[in-house]
Structure formats: C-alpha cells, structure tokens
Amino acid sequence: MTASAFTGALLAIILILPTTLEARDTARRVQGILEAYNPDNQRIALIGAGNENQGTLFLFSPDGTITHQLGSYGSGTEQGQSLMGLHGRDGSLRYLLRLHGDKDSPALVMKDKAGRDKLVIGLSGADETPYISYTDAKGEQRSLIPTLP
C-alpha cells in the first residue's frame, strides 16, 4: 500500500467514523489503548498514547507484524513533530516521512533492511533549502544537491 493510499484510507475513516459516533445519543471517550481485531482474532490496529503519551496509530499484517505507524515523537528535540512510517514484511522501518528542526521542515527517509538511512530528501532545518543525500556502498554520506542539513 502506498503512502497516499494509506493516507486516503485513514482520511476516509476519520471522516466517516465521527458521523457514526454522532448518531448515538451519548458520546463515548476511550482512554488508554484501543485495539482492532479481524474475524480470526488477529490484531490489525492499535491506537493509543504511545510510549511517551503522544498519539500513536499502528497497523499490523495478519501475522502480527507492524506495517504502518502514524504519530509524533515523544521526547528530545523532535518532541511533538509528526511522523509516518511504512514497514517491510519483516517489521523493519523502510520508509519514513517526518518533520524536523525548528521550522518543522519535511524529510523523506528511505532505509535499508538494517535500519540505516540510504536516501534522504528534504528541506534543511535552518533555511529550508532542498537537499538530497544518500549513503554509498562504503557507508559514507554523499550529497546529490550541494547543501546538507
């Protein structure tokens, strides 16, 4: 599933679910973790407060492996900055769309199976100059556009 398809599906859920809930006489507030299971009793989604009380959504494959995540960083200099991750069939994070820096500058990060950044496309945090960098076969970071963040 592509990032745009995932985002479209999530948007549809957000738009449709409130209508269903508003049709009820009383509103319910869920505190803690909300999990969804398929008819075979396999967990397919988790919505909760994350590890550090930030909003988090995880989607899982039928075998229980994480496939998607949506949320924000919970601590450090990235606290409160949004992220969206797509995971490989083995659960490893492969594609990360995130915000960084004082200006919440966007970055797209593609990772190898070991979790190392291989290709990064984004805007630098300081002046939002575009950059593209990659990691070569020797593990050295190279720039395709002269400015690196």
Task: Give the model confidence (pLDDT) of 111-121 as tens digits.
Answer: 999 999 999 99
Q: What are the domain boundaries of the chain?
A: 1-22+31-87, 101-149
Q: What is residue 33's predicted lDDT score, i.e. its pLDDT?
A: 82
Q: 142 near 134, Cβ under 8 Å?
A: yes
CB 95 within 8 A of CB 113: no
- In our burial notation (b when 16+ CB lie closer than 10 A, e otherwise), range 65-104 reads ebbbbbbbbbeeeeeebbbbbbbeeeeeebbbbbbbbeee
In the chain, % of residues over pLDDT 70 = 72
79 pLDDT band, cuts 50/70/90, is confident
* Residue 101 and residue 107 in contact, taking contact as beta carbons nearer than 8 Å: no
